[in-house]
C-alpha cells in the first residue's frame, strides 16, 4: 500500500545511516565533495535518533543495511562485488551480506518444513543440521533424506519476508516517483519501470517452487558446459517456502586465498566465469542473475558450482543479437558498428547524430584497450557512460536491467580472482562464436525456415484474412454519429482522472 507511511520509511533510511555512522562511510566511498558532506551532516544529525540502531557489533555500512531490511541487503550484495567502485574496505564489510547474516532459530525452520510439506522433519530427514548459511531471503540447513540417504541442502524462507519486501519496495516506488518529479532529466532512466522490474524479480524469488523449476531448466541448458556444476532440486521436498537440492561441497568463491592454496588457477577460473555467463546469456537467453560470491563455489575438481536460482534473467533472441553485436563492436573497436546497432534497435532516438554518438562511444571504449586493468576506474567509467547516455537521450532498457547488472557483478567476482583480468579479451571467444552461429549465412537460412514454418501454421487463415480485408476496403464509408458528452461531464471526468494519477504518483 503506497502512502504517506513510505515517506516515514525513507526518512528512517537516512536517519539509520546517520545513527549507525554509515553516512560518513558511504560518502567517503563515493568521494562526495565537501559541500555534499556538510549538507548531509547538517541535515542528518537532528534526525539520527529516528534511525534503527542495528547491531553494534557490525561495521557501520553493514549495520545500517541489515537494520533496514532485505531489499537494502540485496543492493548491498551487488556493491560487495565492486571494490573498484566502493573501495576494498567497504566491499569487505558488505561481503558478509551474501551468506553470513544472523539466522533464525532452527525450531522455526522445522515448523515451516512441517507446515509446507505436511510431515514432521524426522520423517523426511534422518539428519538435519543447524543453519550453515543465512542470507537476505532464506537460510540453508544441511540434511540427509530419510528415504534415499542423499545429502541435501534445505533452503527455507525467512519468516515474514514477504511483508518486509512489500514494505521496502513500496518505499522504493515512492522514492522513484519523487525522483521523476523533482528531476525531469531522470525520466529517461525510467526509475518507476526499474522498480517495477525489480519488484517482479523479487516476487519470483519468494516462491521456492519457481526457483526449483529455474534450477532444473538451467541444468538442462548447461549440461554440456565443461567446468560447471549445477545442484539439482529434489522435487518431493519442494514447496513454496522450502526447497531441497543436491548438497554441493566446495570452497566459497570469496575465499580467494583458500582457492589458491588448494592449487586452483584463479586466472583461469575468472576467465571461465565470464565466458560461462556470456554463453548462458547469448546462447540460451536464460542466465543466473545473482552471481555474487555467496552463490558460487569452487569444487575440489575445479568446477565452478552455481546455486541459488531465485533470480534468473531471460532475453529474447532479437535482443541477444543486438547485445552480441554491441559487444563484438567494442571488442573489434568498431564504434561505427556499435552506434549503428544502437540506432537500428531504437536504443538512441533517430533524430540524434550517429557520427557524434560513435565518437562518444570511442571515448568510452578506447581507454579500456591496452590499459592495465588495475588502473581502470570502473566508477569513473560508469559515470562517463551516464553522461554519454544522457547527452544522447537513451532511455533505460528494462529488459536489459538484469543482464547489465549481472555483467557488472560477474566482472567484480572475476576481478576478485584476478585483479588483472581483461574482461573484453575473456569475452571475445564466446561473442565471436555467437556471432558466427547467429548472424552468419546459416542463421539467415534458419530464420527463413522459421518464417516458412510460421506461414505454414497460419496458411489456412490467410485466405480468410485476405477476403475480410478486401471486403472491408470495398465497403462504402458509413456516417457514424457519435454522441458527445456534455462539457461539464468531460471536465469532471478529466479532473477525476488527474486526481487519480496524482494520487498514484504520490502514494
Report, as residue numbers or ranges, the catalytic residues. Answer: 290
Distance CA 500, CA 507 (A): 10
From the list 435, 451, 407, 447, the residue with the least C-alpha distance to 321 is: 435
Q: What is the 8-class DSSP label of residue 247?
A: -
Identify the residue whose cell numbers are 538484469: 402
In this structure, are residues 142 and 148 in contact, taking their beta carbons and an 8 Å threshold? no
Distance CA 403, CA 398 (A): 10
Distance CA 71, CA 161 (A): 10
Please give the distance of CA 150 from its chain centroid, rounded to a whole number: 32
DSSP 3-state of 200: helix
What are 246's strand-pairing partners?
152
Distance CA 453, CA 69 (A): 50
State the alpha helices, DSSP H only, in 222-334. Answer: 256-261, 266-279, 317-332
Retrieve residue 440's grid coordinates: 552468419
Count of other CB atoms within 10 angstroms of residue 474: 7
From the list 428, 421, 333, the residue with the least C-alpha distance to 372 is: 421
In this structure, are residues 285 and 369 in contact, taking their beta carbons and an 8 Å threshold? no
Query: In 62-204, where do the E strands start and end?
Result: 125-134, 138-145, 151-157
Retrieve residue 127's grid coordinates: 539428519
Q: What pairing do the DSSP bridges indicate for beta strands 228-229 and 304-306?
A: parallel
Distances (CA, A) of 364 to 278, 336, 356, 360: 21, 13, 13, 7
Retrieve residue 201's grid coordinates: 524479480
From the list 356, 128, 150, 152, the residue with the least C-alpha distance to 238 is: 152
In this structure, are residues 77 and 294 in contact, taking their beta carbons and an 8 Å threshold? yes
Amino acid at each position: 500500500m503506497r502512502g504517506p507511511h513510505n515517506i516515514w520509511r525513507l526518512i528512517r533510511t537516512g536517519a539509520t545511516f546517520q545513527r549507525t555512522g554509515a553516512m560518513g562511510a558511504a560518502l567517503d566511498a563515493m568521494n562526495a565533495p565537501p559541500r555534499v558532506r556538510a549538507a548531509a551532516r547538517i541535515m542528518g544529525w537532528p534526525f539520527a535518533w529516528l534511525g534503527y540502531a542495528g547491531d553494534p557489533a557490525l561495521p557501520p555500512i553493514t549495520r545500517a543495511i541489515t537494520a533496514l531490511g532485505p531489499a537494502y541487503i540485496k543492493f548491498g550484495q551487488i556493491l560487495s562485488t565492486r571494490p573498484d567502485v566502493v573501495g576494498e574496505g567497504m566491499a569487505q564489510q558488505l561481503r558478509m551480506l551474501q551468506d553470513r547474516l544472523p539466522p533464525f532459530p532452527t525450531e522455526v525452520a522445522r515448523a515451516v518444513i512441517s507446515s509446507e510439506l505436511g510431515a514432521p522433519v524426522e520423517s523426511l530427514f534422518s539428519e538435519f543440521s543447524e543453519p550453515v548459511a543465512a542470507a537476505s531471503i532464506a537460510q540453508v540447513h544441511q540434511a540427509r533424506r530419510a528415504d534415499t540417504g542423499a545429502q541435501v541442502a534445505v533452503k527455507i524462507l525467512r519468516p515474514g519476508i514477504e511483508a518486509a519486501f512489500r514494505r521496502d519496495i513500496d518505499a522504493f516506488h515512492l522514492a522513484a516517483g519523487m525522483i521523476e518529479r523533482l528531476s525531469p532529466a531522470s525520466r529517461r532512466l525510467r526509475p518507476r519501470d526499474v522498480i517495477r522490474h525489480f519488484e517482479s524479480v523479487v516476487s519470483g524469488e519468494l516462491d521456492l517452487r519457481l526457483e526449483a523449476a529455474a534450477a532444473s531448466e538451467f541444468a538442462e541448458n548447461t549440461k554440456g558446459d565443461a567446468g560447471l556444476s549445477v545442484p539439482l532440486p529434489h522435487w518431493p521436498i519442494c514447496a513454496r517456502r522450502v526447497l531441497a537440492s543436491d548438497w554441493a561441497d566446495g570452497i566459497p568463491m570469496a575465499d580467494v586465498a583458500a582457492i589458491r592454496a588448494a592449487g586452483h588457477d584463479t586466472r583461469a577460473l575468472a576467465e571461465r566465469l565470464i565466458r560461462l555467463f556470456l554463453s548462458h546469456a547469448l546462447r540460451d537467453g536464460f542466465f543466473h542473475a545473482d552471481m555474487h560470491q555467496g552463490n558460487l563455489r569452487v569444487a575440489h575438481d575445479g568446477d565452478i558450482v552455481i546455486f541459488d536460482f531465485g533470480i534468473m534473467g531471460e532475453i529474447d533472441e532479437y535482443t541477444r543479437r543486438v547485445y552480441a553485436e554491441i559487444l563484438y563492436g567494442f571488442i573489434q573497436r568498431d564504434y561505427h558498428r556499435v552506434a549503428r546497432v544502437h540506432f537500428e534497435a531504437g536504443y538512441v532516438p533517430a533524430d540524434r547524430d550517429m557520427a557524434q554518438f560513435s565518437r562518444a562511444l570511442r571515448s568510452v571504449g578506447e581507454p579500456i584497450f591496452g590499459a592495465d586493468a588495475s588502473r581502470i576506474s570502473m566508477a569513473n567509467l560508469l559515470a562517463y557512460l551516464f553522461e554519454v547516455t544522457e547527452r544522447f537521450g537513451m532511455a533505460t532498457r528494462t529488459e536489459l536491467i538484469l543482464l547489465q547488472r549481472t555483467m557488472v557483478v560477474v566482472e567484480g567476482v572475476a576481478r576478485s580472482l584476478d585483479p588483472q583480468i581483461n574482461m573484453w579479451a575473456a569475452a571475445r571467444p564466446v561473442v565471436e562464436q555467437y556471432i558466427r552461429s547467429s548472424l552468419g549465412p546459416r542463421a539467415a537460412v534458419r530464420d527463413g525456415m522459421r518464417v516458412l514454418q510460421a506461414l505454414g501454421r497460419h496458411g489456412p487463415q490467410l485466405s480468410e484474412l485476405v477476403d475480410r480485408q478486401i471486403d472491408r476496403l470495398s465497403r462504402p464509408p458509413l456516417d457514424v454519429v457519435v454522441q458527445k458528452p456534455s462539457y461539464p461531464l468531460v471536465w469532471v471526468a478529466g479532473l477525476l482522472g488527474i486526481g487519480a494519477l496524482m494520487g498514484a504518483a504520490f502514494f
